[in-house]
Amino acid sequence: MYAAAKVELSRCTGCKLCILACPDPNVICFLADDKKVKVDVTRCKGCGLCVAVCPKAALALEALTESEPART
């Protein structure tokens, strides 16, 4: 069992604080077209730093099963 950050898009304002907080610059991508973010769950380590800084409570750690994409 793993955990990875999940974005509730209806709450995300695109402030980018989560991108700045994430220790890996390639995990959270900013979607310029709709001004929201997405998380690459295959790279997310589940550290929770992005969850802690999000001012809109748009991020949460979600359990992943082993049948879901493995992390590198």
State the residues that interact with ligand SF4 by CB under 6 A: 5, 7, 12-18, 21-22, 24, 27-28, 37, 39, 44-50, 53-54, 56, 58-59
2 vs 66 by CB, closer to ligand SF4: 2
CB of 33 to ligand SF4, least distance (A): 14
Q: What are 39's strand-pairing partners?
A: 28
CB of 58 to ligand SF4, least distance (A): 4
Burial class (CB in 10 A: 0-12, 13-18, 19+), 1: exposed
CB of 48 to ligand SF4, least distance (A): 5
Neighbouring C-alpha atoms within 13 Å toward the C-beta of 20: 6
Query: What backbone torsions phi and psi does residue 64 show, to the nearest 5 degrees?
Result: -115, 145
